[in-house]
Structure 1
């Protein structure tokens, strides 16, 4: 019984929380921008727990979609589904069950617009893993999936979504997601070429690091403009500056494109997102 529970936890990547962080930071950016500071505690709790649940559900459906590919990739062949310790129908049941838990959590807010906004979020989470077969930049779909919490956050704390803030925030996050997931895809590029999986790392080819720099730089410019439009100050600017330094650090360590270094750059994006949030949160505290 316990080994099976361990396999379920690993299927949901609860032992590797990096994906939770990468989904959480932009959601928190949106909550703070939408609320003009710290959001109501119930909303904060629901969105944090919902982030954990939806990332877990996304991992389960991802491994279901990749069950025929993962055994042939060195980094993924020991995942529970690829190794045969979890059956495909168990992964589907886990995906459905976790999505229902997230829905129940969302219903506790008694906010119909937020519930309605969650429907495309689930559809995007379910669709993304299959995009690797059809489009050359599946990371764009992942970017949308990881950005859908932004309009949900606005709907949770405002009468309606302020698109003048939400759209540039979503655009910044989509650009950032494509950038950091390209670092991730560069780790598996040779295996993906061999088995026929599409990725941004393959699409960008020898221009991969340049495109990543442009995407991250574009994301920072959008965030700077958002800060200007909302009257943010020194602490927010300091957070942006730290994120920019981390962007340079990622470029520096990946000059040779070694897979381990690319994976390190991917992981470093946790601090990129955290720096922006900490600067934003401190700025609202000081401003208040």
Structure 2
């Protein structure tokens, strides 16, 4: 039985297919430019860290560098993910129309795209502090090996959460010259947050993963997913509360944690491990959490 349209990665008649030249479309989809939710989910916590750790609004130039870095490295991560998983993607309803899985791009073309993205990201490094550059370089190999984790561990989402939110740590070093305790707490909260929402998302592919012998938190938790995701979200809030305390945030930051907790609770209330259809939309709703986190960091310094 074909998957619900809500589970498919490729949307018919979207802006990629209607506005870009045909020769560019497969590259745009390889980079997930048609699905920017991932870029927002890595950028918004980073912007929050730029403000919360430094106790001031970040300079426009710094914001632009981190925004471009988030876009380029997220796109590079998608490229390497599709390169390593191309044979698996062809067997999964949600991913079978990705460019490498359906043959619209060759392996060499995808590798060339990856190299270009990494070179473009490298041009941003001279604009950062030396310690931030070292931290950024340390993240590159982690980004490249992430897709392999589902082959031998049920916890690839934890590794992804650590790497995906690396910008939070970089933001602290860039704005303060060191890795602040508040940044570590914020990063750890983001890791638990991603463990929650990425586990929720993984339930979309759970049946296919089981057939192919791939591992994820969704295949590990099975019917206990709601309990585990709830636990991850509780840890998220505790870590973010700790980050606010360590940063000396004013009460506004902690007040904003209330609508964040309500948003996470709503996701949990709508999630059913045996019904994956809503998982994609619930996953996407986390951009609202990211926006609220950034708003909380902004009011924390007023």
TM-score, normalised to structure 1, is 0.94
For 1:40 and 1:18, how far apart are their aligned partners in 2? 24
For 1:244 and 1:150, how far apart are their aligned partners in 2? 21
For 1:251 and 1:20, how far apart are their aligned partners in 2? 23
Q: CA deviation at 1:256?
A: 6.1
Contact 1:103-1:115 at 8 Å conserved across structures: no
- Provide the residue aligned with 1:115 in structure 2: 133
Contact 1:124-1:145 at 8 Å conserved across structures: yes
For 2:126 and 2:24, how far apart are their aligned partners in 1? 27
- Provide the residue aligned with 1:161 in structure 2: 179
Contact 2:72-2:121 at 8 Å conserved across structures: yes
For 1:248 and 1:150, how far apart are their aligned partners in 2? 24
Which structure has the higher relative contact order (CA within 8 Å, separation 6+)? Answer: 2
For 1:83 and 1:219, how far apart are their aligned partners in 2? 38
Is 1:231 the counterpart of 2:284? The answer is no
- Provide the residue aligned with 1:66 in structure 2: 85
For 1:16 and 1:267, how far apart are their aligned partners in 2? 10
- Provide the residue aligned with 1:208 in structure 2: 225
TM-score, normalised to structure 2, is 0.90
For 1:167 and 1:230, how far apart are their aligned partners in 2? 11
Matches within 5 A, 1:92-111: 92-109=111-128, 111=129
Contact 1:121-1:149 at 8 Å conserved across structures: no
For 1:159 and 1:237, how far apart are their aligned partners in 2? 26
Matches within 5 A, 1:111-190: 111-162=129-180, 164-190=181-207
For 1:241 and 1:247, how far apart are their aligned partners in 2? 10
- Superposed structure 1 runs of 4+ greater than 3 Å apart: none
Contact 1:133-1:198 at 8 Å conserved across structures: yes
Contact 1:186-1:262 at 8 Å conserved across structures: yes
SS at match of 2:285: helix
Question: CA-atom RMSD, angstroms?
Answer: 1.5
Contact 1:23-1:51 at 8 Å conserved across structures: yes
Is 1:50 the counterpart of 2:75? The answer is no
For 1:83 and 1:214, how far apart are their aligned partners in 2? 38
Aligned positions, number: 283
SS at match of 2:86: coil
Decide which moves more: 111-120 or 49-58.
Answer: 111-120
- Provide the residue aligned with 1:80 in structure 2: 99
For 2:130 and 2:249, how far apart are their aligned partners in 1? 31
Matches within 5 A, 1:31-50: 31-50=50-69
Matches within 5 A, 1:245-264: 245-255=262-272, 257-264=274-281
Q: Which runs of 5+ in 1 are unaligned?
A: none
